[in-house]
């Protein structure tokens, strides 16, 4: 089973068409997004649940789907569905929501019997003003599983997996910044970071490199993975990049036209391979 480019495009086209935009000031738009995600998950036969909390007087929700819910050993993969301010957020982070929906489809249709279960978590409130607070959807989820009897192998947070551009640097040390998937985590869990990066490359469709930051580095956790470390769950961000990253990040030009769906399809296949072959 492989990712379908058409599915990725259709998911992102829908998510970026929601208006007002999917930010914390527009709870109805976030509800519409959550309903769409839940509908897609139910169509492929995954049991779903919603996790609710209050922030600034509004109710926000994570959407959670489980594969092999009977397994006590589990792996978490997630992506946030809210956007920064008044933007469509095609790459940040509709691309990852679409990728996560497609990975869940691939898994359920292939009916893989894994040694572990997988929790697909679609987070709300990753973006400012809630970033680095206990109102982040990923913090709500991480805290909720900390005292369960489940054994969590690790966690992957998907971020911006749709934009790619190779940059050639012409100088006496001429080089190319290649399209790749970057694995970002902290040194305490470097064994896990390395494992994820190696598995991403093993599929053969994408290159990957890992970055393991010191725990006191100011911006060592720029996404939802940060909230699992304090509960001793190995966690990384997997982000797609070409050249020096996406110049449309957190701007109004982060639109569907800027994405490379062919490379994104390869990225989703690589992430699927890593997710289905992770071992302790």
DSSP the chain: ----HHHHHHHHHHHHH-SS-SSTT-HHHHHHHHHHHHHHHHHTT--EEEEEEEETTEEEEEEEEEESTT-SEEEEEEEE---SSSS--IIIIIHHHHHHHHHHHHHHHHT---SSEEEEEEES--STTSTTSTTSHHHHHHHHHTTSS-EEEEEEEEE--S----EEE-STT-EEE--EEEEEEEGGGHHHHHHHHHHHHHTSS-EEEEEEE-TT-TTS--STTHHHHTTT--EEEEEEESTT--TTTTSTT--GGG--HHHHHHHHHHHHHHHHH---
Residues 6+ apart with CB under 8 A from 197: 181, 183, 208, 209, 210
In whole angstroms, give the CA distance from residue 203 to residue 184: 19
Question: In the predicted model, what is the mean pLDDT of residues 141-159?
Answer: 96
End-to-end CA distance of the chain: 24
Q: What is the pLDDT of residue 169?
A: 56
The band of 245, judged by pLDDT with boundaries at 50, 70 and 90, is confident
Q: What is the pLDDT of residue 185?
A: 98
Query: Domain spanning 5-277: which CATH class is it, in words?
Result: alpha beta
Task: Look at residue 259 and tell me whether its pLDDT is greater than 60.
Answer: yes
Residue whose tokens read 């970026």: 16
The chain-wide mean pLDDT, for the chain, equals 95
Question: In the predicted model, what is the mean pLDDT of residues 6-31?
Answer: 98
Q: What is the pLDDT of residue 147?
A: 86
pLDDT digits (tens, 9 = 90+) for 187-226: 999 999 999 999 999 998 899 999 999 999 998 999 999 9
The band of 166, judged by pLDDT with boundaries at 50, 70 and 90, is confident
Q: What is the pLDDT of residue 80?
A: 98
Residues 6+ apart with CB under 8 A from 229: 186, 188, 189, 215, 221, 235
In whole angstroms, give the CA distance from residue 226 to residue 237: 9
Kindly report the pTM of this predicted structure: 0.96
């Amino acid at each position: 089973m492989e990712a379908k480019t058409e599915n990725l495009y259709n998911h992102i086209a829908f998510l970026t068409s929601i208006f007002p935009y999917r930010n914390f000031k527009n709870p109805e738009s976030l509800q519409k997004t959550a309903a769409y995600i839940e509908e897609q998950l139910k169509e492929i036969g995954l049991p779903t649940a919603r996790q609710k909390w209050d922030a600034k007087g509004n109710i926000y929700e994570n959407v959670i789907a489980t594969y092999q819910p009977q397994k006590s050993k589990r792996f978490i993969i997630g992506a946030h569905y809210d956007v920064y301010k008044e933007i469509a957020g095609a790459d940040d982070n509709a691309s990852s929501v679409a990728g996560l929906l497609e990975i869940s489809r691939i898994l359920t249709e292939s009916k893989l019997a894994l040694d572990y279960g997988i929790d697909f978590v679609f987070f709300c409130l990753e973006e400012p003003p809630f970033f680095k607070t206990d109102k982040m959807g990923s913090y709500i989820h991480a805290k909720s599983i900390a005292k369960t009897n489940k054994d969590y192998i690790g966690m992957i947070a998907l971020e911006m997996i749709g934009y790619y551009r190779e940059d050639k640097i012409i100088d006496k040390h001429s080089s190319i910044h290649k399209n790749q998937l970057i694995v970002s985590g902290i040194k305490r869990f470097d064994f896990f970071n390395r494992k994820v990066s190696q598995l991403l490359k093993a599929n053969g469709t994408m290159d990957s490199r890992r970055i393991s930051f010191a725990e006191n580095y100011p911006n060592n956790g720029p996404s939802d993975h940060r909230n699992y470390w304090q509960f001793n769950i190995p966690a990384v961000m997997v982000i797609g990049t070409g050249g020096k990253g996406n110049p449309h990040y957190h701007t109004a030009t982060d639109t569907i036209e800027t994405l490379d769906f062919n490379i994104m399809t390869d990225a989703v296949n690589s992430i699927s391979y890593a997710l289905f072959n992770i071992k302790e």
